[in-house]
Amino acid sequence: TLHAGIVGLPNVGKSTLFNAITQAGAEAANYPFCTIDPNVGMVEVPDSRLKKLAEMVHPKKIVSATVEFVDIAGLVRGASKGEGLGNKFLSHIREVDAIVHVVRCFEDENVIHVEGNVNPKRDIETIDLELVLADMESVEKRADRSSKLLKTGDKKTQSEVALLERLKEVFNQGKGARFLTYTDEERAILKGFSLLTLKPVLYVANVSENGLSTAADNPYVQQVMAIAAEEGAEAVVVCAQIEAEIAELEEDEKQGFLQDLGLEESGLDHLIRVAFHLLGLMTFFTAGPIEVKAWTIHQSTKAPQAAGVIHTDFEHGFIRAEVVAYNDFVANNGLNGAKDKGLVRLEGKEYIMRDGDIVHFRFNV
Ligand code: GDP
């Protein structure tokens, strides 16, 4: 499961968006356990292929891929120095795969802005600065330790010290660790640092209910888009309040509601798709009479590792994968039809999985 942390200044619409997420997740009754932690919400990754497969296979159960969102409230100016909830919630951010940064792009005099007025660029910089300061602190601590070890002349320590220096430099410019490029060796070292500013960011420009259709002309949205483009980050426009309403609707009502708004999909569905793309994720399927299920893997994952996502035994005992492309499966009325046409392939350990593969793994136990 992909984990995303929602951050942003107070009163930008984080809770509203998060409530939409938990509401949508609650509809997907497969995941009762996710309601235990009030700060964690789970949603299904929308994928029309799953429904189509289920229509063909008639499984007992359909299981979507999921994304888990963590509501990381309390990030305010001075958080890295212990303001607000301070460092406590910063540690939550360390555990996520991606950061969803909600930015207020709606005016509403009834909703106070902690900084006095709506200004996405300043707001983004405020949050970024806190994350940079938190990373600066951990890098400085680390640097103290490794420079003491440097006398032993260990090659790895030398690389680490050099890397830490480069990080400090970029932090001093107020920029995050994701603005640097790294060698494979450096990437390996970085893993041990769990830096907040290394995580991919997806900006959510939260507009007002009547601002959705004119979002492209909204100067606040334009600011967010410009920043995202500059950083090579992703950005989506959402109206959190409308998402909260959509999340309460039944599936068929939902389609009509979206049509009335002139939308093809909900902002939340769009956000999930973009997050998938941002993290270089893709989907493969298993399809049998018991269940049809979507699994999440990184692009360019090989067959045994994909099998390992299902169960570690599948990876260790991997023999072969029986693979058919989704389109071939559908066009030939299922597995047997595809087999007759010679479209079901036996793939080995080096096979690189493709999005939409329908797979049956063969393994030794
Ligand atoms: P948080 O502090 O970032 O979690 O912000 P909330 O989600 O609690 O939202 C703060 C206030 O802004 C609430 O009164 C919301 O109803 C309001 N709000 C959130 N999203 C929108 C929106 O899209 N449009 C408008 N007009 N108000 C919103």
DSSP structure string for 161-218: HHHHHHHHHHHHTT--GGGS---HHHHHHHHTT--GGGS-EEEEEE--GGGSTTGGG-
Q: Are residues 346 and 252 in the same domain?
A: no
* Domain identity same for 203 and 329: no
Question: Given this model, what pLDDT does residue 148 score?
Answer: 80
- The number of the ligand 1 atom at minimal distance from the alpha carbon of 73 is 4
Atom of ligand 1 nearest to the CA of 17: 7
| Closest residue CA from atom 17 of ligand 1 | 13
Q: pLDDT tens track of the chain, all 365 residues?
A: 788 999 999 899 999 999 888 877 665 544 444 444 667 888 888 899 999 999 999 999 999 998 888 888 767 777 667 665 556 667 778 888 999 999 999 998 888 888 888 999 999 999 999 899 989 988 999 998 888 877 776 788 888 999 999 999 999 999 999 999 999 999 999 988 889 999 999 999 999 988 888 888 999 999 999 999 998 899 999 999 999 999 888 888 988 999 988 888 889 999 998 988 888 899 999 999 999 999 999 999 999 999 999 999 999 999 999 999 999 999 999 999 999 999 999 999 999 999 999 999 999 97
**pLDDT of 72:** 81
Do residues 185 and 212 share a domain? no
Name the residue with the closest Cα to ligand 1, atom 19: 13
Do 273 and 207 belong to one domain? yes
If asked whether residues 37 and 21 sit together in one domain, one would say yes
pLDDT at 2: 83
Looking at the structure, do residues 93 and 172 belong to the same domain, yes or no?
Answer: no
ipTM: 0.94
Helix/strand/coil for 48: helix
Residue 37 covered by a domain: yes
Q: Is 151 annotated as a binding residue?
A: no
Report the alpha-carbon angle 206-207-208, nearest 5.
Answer: 130
Q: How far is the CA of 78 from the centre of ligand 1 (A)?
A: 22
- Site to probe by mutation for ligand 1, drawn from 71, 106, 111, 224 as the one with most ligand atoms within 8 Å of Cβ, is 111
**Residues with a CB atom less than 6 Å from ligand 1:** 8, 10-16, 106, 108, 111, 206, 208-209, 239-241
Could you give the number of structural domains in the chain?
A: 3
Residue 157 annotated as part of some ligand binding site: no
